[in-house]
Structure 1
Amino acid sequence: MSARIQRVSFVLAVHDLARSTAYWRDVLGWTLEFDDPGNWSFMFRDRVGVHLGECKDAIAPAELGDHSYFGYVVMDDVDAYHAEISARGAECRAPEDKPWGMREMVVRTIDGHRMMFAQQLG
């Protein structure tokens, strides 16, 4: 196989781009790499990105139930990330060990999107 994936980004509709961008930056600790006010913000943490697009009339993620989950990101220290973002007010569950060999926590964004962060056990 010759073609390799370099980064992955999720595209998310948000109602208020400025508010969402500030949350991803200030609470979740992601870096703003591109900003087109009122249209797009591209946020990254390491090799994972979210492209936030302002869609004022989109269905609120909270109304989607389980369909508000959009990503599963494996990292090297989920407990450290939990401590970092919970100290800044993020809505997240404490990490838990799962029988499939992962330590996982769910994070709910200010818009209601949910994302799972995990770490390999052992």
Structure 2
Amino acid sequence: MDRAIAILPTEDLAVAKVFYVDGLGFQVTFEASEDGHTGLLGLARGGIELTLDCPMNGHGRNACVSLHVDDVDMYYREWSARVAVPRAPKNEEWGARTFGLEDPSGNTIFVLGPVRDESLE
């Protein structure tokens, strides 16, 4: 099975772990750190996998990951109750329903899924 896993830079694994695990409901799949603040942290939630890297030398900063999900609104309801999410999901003219947020290190998490019939709300 071929797959890609986004690697996001972070300033502090401990801060990022709280955000992703407590705030967004991810599970830790591996942790390679001697001090809890630097190293690597693997995360998963359903079919979504991420790796956090601190310090991420030789790579760009302020990365963006796009999470393709079946129910954008479910993620928005859950996550906005736990962390700051700047705007509610909206149907985009290009054919997806989206919202986005930033993690504590300034990485963008862009969530998109199928367009929802807003007249049903």
Taking structure 2 as the reference length, the TM-score comes to 0.80
State the match for 2:107 in structure 1: 113
Instruction: Letter of the 1:54 partner, please give it.
Output: C
5 Å matches for 1:20-39? 20-37=16-33, 38-39=38-39
How many residue pairs are counted as aligned between the two chains?
Answer: 112
How much identity, in percent, do the aligned residues show?
Answer: 25
Decide which of 69, 72, 77 is 1:78's aligned counterpart.
Answer: 72
State the match for 2:48 in structure 1: 48
Cα 1:36/1:30, change in 2 over 3 Å: same
Structure 2: gaps (5+ residues): 117-121
State the match for 2:15 in structure 1: 19
State the match for 2:119 in structure 1: none
Give the structure with the larger strand fraction.
1
Instruction: Letter of the 1:32 partner, please give it.
Output: V
Q: Which moved more, 1:73-82 or 1:91-100?
A: 91-100
Structure 1: gaps (5+ residues): 62-67
What's the secondary structure of 2:83's corresponding residue? coil
Shift of 1:89: 2.1
Taking structure 1 as the reference length, the TM-score comes to 0.79
CA distance in 1, matches of 2:56, 2:11: 4
Q: Deviations over 1:12-49 (max 9, x none)?
A: 12111111112110111111110112311101112221
